[in-house]
C-alpha cells in the first residue's frame, strides 16, 4: 500500500504528504499506524467490493437503477396509507441544500450555528401552531416512532404501564408500537372501530378505560380507513380517568380542520412527510411531537430554546439536555441522537413558501378532489364507500370485484389505483383504499374514473345491491 500512490475516490494526500506526516509522527510506514491491532484479526486481503468507479460510471449505474423503479411520476398514483404525494415547491430543496445547512452537525456550538438554530426554533413554533400544542421537539425518526415514543412519554407522565390503541392504526405503526412497548414492558390493548362509521368504537373504549387504568389512548386521525376520529370526545373520555389523549394525525388536513391540540389532545404526533418531503421510497421522513409545556421533561429529542449570551443578549441553543441520552444515558427519555433536522428545516421552508393562505388552499384542494372522485367512483355499479364517517382525502371503497386484478388492470393503463386493503389488514377482500392530493387535475381524475369504469366492467364483478 505504501509504495504506490494512495487510491481514494476523494484523495487528499500525495505520497509525499503521507511520508512527511509519518515522519512527523515518528513512524516509518502506514502499517505502523495500525500496529496495535493484532495480526490475527487483521484483514489480510482487500475487501471484496466492486472496483472503484469514475463519477460518470457511477452516474450511469444509479440512473439505470432509478429507471428500474416506476414512480408517482411515471404513473398516476392514488397511493396513500401514511405517505402522500404532495407538491414540493422548488424553493424547499434549493434552500435546504445550501452547504451550510446540509453539512453542519447538530448545533453543539451555538455561537456558530445561530442560522440552523433559528430555523429549528421556528420549526418548533410553526409545528406547535399546526398541532395546537406549544412544546415541540426537533423531530424523531418518523411518524411511527413518534407514536411509540409518545406512548412511552404518557407512561412516564402518568406512571402507568398500559396503553390503549385504535385498531385502525397504519399496520406499521402498530408493529412499531408493539416493538417499543415490549422493551419498556408496557401492555397494549386494542379498540375496534365501528363497522358502519369506521371511527373508533367509543363504547368499547369506555369499557377498556374502566377495566385498566391506561397511560394513554392512542388515536390516529384520519385513521387507517381514512375516517376522521372524534378527538374532542375521545380526549374528554381520557381525561375523566387520568389518561392522556395521544393523537397521531395527518398534518395536511390541518388547513381544513382544527388542531388536535385544540381539541383536547395531550400529545400530538405526526408524520411530517406530507409537508415538503419527497416520497423517497419510504424514507427518510420525520416524526413530529407536540405537547404541553409541563410535559417537556418527558419529550425525546433535541429542543432549541432561547438563552443569554455573554452580553446578555438573546441567543439560541439546544436546551433541556438533561432529558437526552448524552446526559441521562439509561435514564434518558429516549435514545434518539441523530434525528431528522434537515427535514424539519424542509418543513419550515415548505410552510413559509406556501404560507397560511396557500396551505389552507392546498388542504382544501385535497379534500375537494378526494370528495369529487369518491362521488364519481361511487356512481359506478357496485362501488360504494365502506364507511359513513367523514374523511379528508383518503377513503375506503367496497368493490364489486377482486381488488388485485383491478389494480393490475389499472396499472397497465399507467395508474396506481390505490392500496389493496388486504395488504394492510387481514380479511379485507374486495376493498380498496384511495388517497387523492392536490397534484391531480380534474382531467386526470376523470380519466382515472373512466379507466376504473372500464376495468370493473371487464372484470365483470358481481354487482352488489
Ligand X SMILES: Cc1ncc(COP(=O)(O)O)c(C=O)c1O
d(CA 225, CA 227): 5
Binding ligand X (rule: CB under 6 A), the pick from 25, 58, 307, 337 is 337
d(CA 311, CA 250): 43
Instruction: Answer with the entry of other proteins, a copy of itself, ligand X, none that 34 interacts with (C-beta below 5 to 8 A by kind).
Output: other proteins
Q: How far is the CB of 337 from ligand X (least distance, A)?
A: 3
Residues that bind a copy of itself (CB under 8 A): 54-57, 59, 63, 73, 87, 89-90, 94, 97-99, 438-439, 441
User: Residues 6 or more apart from 23 whose CB is under 8 A from it?
Assistant: none
d(CA 106, CA 109): 8
Instruction: Answer with the entry of other proteins, ligand X, a copy of itself, none that 351 interacts with (C-beta below 5 to 8 A by kind).
Output: other proteins
Asked if residue 222 has a cis previous peptide bond (ω within 30° of 0), the answer is yes
Q: How far is the CB of 143 from other proteins (least distance, A)?
A: 7
- Residue 140 or 377 having the CB closest to ligand X: 140
Q: How far is the CB of 301 from ligand X (least distance, A)?
A: 11
DSSP 336: -
Binding ligand X (rule: CB under 6 A), the pick from 39, 69, 159, 338 is 338
- Residue 142 in contact with other proteins, rule: CB under 8 A: yes
- Residue 159 in contact with other proteins, rule: CB under 8 A: no
Report helix angle 403-412 to 442-459, nearest 10.
130
Q: How far is the CB of 106 from ligand X (least distance, A)?
A: 8
Stretch that binds other proteins, among 113-121, 240-248, 290-298, 452-460 (CB under 8 A): 113-121
CB 148 within 8 A of CB 122: no
d(CA 285, CA 275): 10
Instruction: Answer with the entry of ligand X, other proteins, a copy of itself, none that 234 interacts with (C-beta below 5 to 8 A by kind).
Output: none
- Residue 60 or 182 having the CB closest to a copy of itself: 60
- Residue 327 in contact with ligand X, rule: CB under 6 A: no
- Residue 58 or 337 having the CB closest to ligand X: 337
Instruction: Answer with the entry of ligand X, a copy of itself, other proteins, none that 364 interacts with (C-beta below 5 to 8 A by kind).
Output: other proteins
Binding mask of the shown chain, residues 40 to 69, with x at each position contacting other proteins by CB under 8 A = xxxx--xxxxxxxxxx-xxx-xxxxxxxxx
Binding-site size, ligand X (CB under 6 A)? 2
Q: How far is the CB of 272 from a copy of itself (least distance, A)?
A: 19
CB 274 within 8 A of CB 106: no
How many angstroms separate the Cα of 421 from the Cα of each of 222, 399, 431? 16, 11, 5
CB 200 within 8 A of CB 193: yes
What separation, in Å, do the N-terminal and C-terminal C-alpha atoms of the chain show?
Answer: 77
How many angstroms separate the Cα of 436 from the Cα of each of 237, 340, 439? 32, 26, 8
Taking the C-alpha atoms of 387, 270, 291 and 337 in order, what is their torsion angle to the nearest 10 degrees?
A: 150
What does the binding site for ligand X look like in residue numbers (CB under 6 A)? 337-338
Amino acid at each position: 500500500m505504501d509504495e504506490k500512490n494512495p487510491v481514494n475516490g476523494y484523495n487528499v494526500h500525495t505520497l509525499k504528504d503521507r511520508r512527511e506526516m509519518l515522519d512527523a509522527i515518528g513512524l516509518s510506514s502506514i502499517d505502523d499506524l495500525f500496529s496495535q491491532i493484532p495480526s490475527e484479526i487483521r484483514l489480510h486481503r482487500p475487501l471484496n467490493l466492486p472496483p472503484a468507479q469514475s463519477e460518470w460510471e457511477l452516474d450511469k449505474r444509479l440512473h439505470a437503477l432509478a429507471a428500474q423503479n416506476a414512480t408517482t411520476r411515471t404513473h398516476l398514483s392514488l397511493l396513500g396509507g401514511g405517505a402522500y404525494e404532495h407538491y414540493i415547491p422548488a424553493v424547499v430543496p434549493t434552500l435546504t441544500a445550501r452547504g451550510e445547512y446540509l453539512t453542519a452537525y447538530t448545533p453543539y456550538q451555538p455561537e456558530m450555528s445561530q442560522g440552523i438554530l433559528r430555523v429549528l426554533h421556528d420549526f418548533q413554533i410553526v409545528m406547535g401552531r399546526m398541532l395546537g400544542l406549544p412544546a415541540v421537539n426537533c423531530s424523531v425518526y418518523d411518524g411511527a416512532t413518534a407514536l411509540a415514543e409518545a406512548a412511552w412519554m404518557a407512561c412516564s407522565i402518568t406512571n402507568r404501564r398500559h396503553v390503549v390503541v385504535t385498531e385502525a392504526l397504519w399496520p406499521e405503526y402498530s408493529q412499531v408500537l408493539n416493538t417499543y412497548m415490549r422493551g419498556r414492558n408496557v401492555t397494549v390493548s386494542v379498540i375496534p372501530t365501528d363497522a358502519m362509521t369506521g371511527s373508533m368504537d367509543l363504547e368499547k373504549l369506555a369499557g377498556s378505560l374502566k377495566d385498566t387504568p391506561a397511560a394513554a389512548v392512542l388515536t390516529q386521525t384520519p385513521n387507517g380507513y381514512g375516517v376522521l376520529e372524534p378527538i374532542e370526545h375521545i380526549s374528554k373520555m381520557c381525561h375523566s380517568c387520568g389518561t392522556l389523549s395521544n393523537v397521531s394525525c395527518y398534518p395536511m388536513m390541518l388547513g381544513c380542520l382544527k388542531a388536535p391540540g385544540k381539541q383536547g389532545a395531550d400529545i400530538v404526533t405526526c408524520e411530517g412527510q406530507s409537508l415538503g418531503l419527497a416520497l423517497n421510497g419510504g424514507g427518510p421522513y420525520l416524526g413530529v411531537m407536540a405537547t404541553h409545556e409541563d410535559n417537556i421533561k418527558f419529550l425525546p429529542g433535541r429542543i432549541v430554546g432561547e438563552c443569554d449570551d455573554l452580553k446578555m443578549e438573546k441567543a439560541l441553543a439546544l436546551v433541556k439536555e438533561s432529558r437526552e441520552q448524552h446526559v441521562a444515558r439509561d435514564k434518558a427519555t429516549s435514545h434518539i441522537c441523530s434525528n431528522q433536522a434537515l427535514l424539519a428545516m424542509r418543513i419550515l421552508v415548505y410552510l413559509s413558501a406556501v404560507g397560511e393562505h396557500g396551505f389552507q388552499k392546498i388542504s382544501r384542494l385535497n379534500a375537494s378532489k378526494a370528495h369529487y372522485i369518491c362521488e364519481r367512483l361511487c356512481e359506478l355499479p357496485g362501488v360504494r364507500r365502506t364507511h359513513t364517517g367523514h374523511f379528508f382525502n383518503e377513503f375506503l371503497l367496497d368493490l364489486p370485484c377482486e381488488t388485485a386484478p383491478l389494480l393490475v388492470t389499472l396499472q397497465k393503463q399507467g395508474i396506481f389505483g390505490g392500496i389493496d386493503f388486504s395488504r394492510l389488514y387481514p380479511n379485507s377482500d374486495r376493498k380498496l383504499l384511495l388517497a387523492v392530493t392536490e397534484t391531480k387535475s380534474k382531467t386526470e381524475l376523470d380519466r382515472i374514473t373512466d379507466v376504473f369504469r372500464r376495468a370493473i366492467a371487464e372484470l365483470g364483478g358481481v354487482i352488489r345491491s
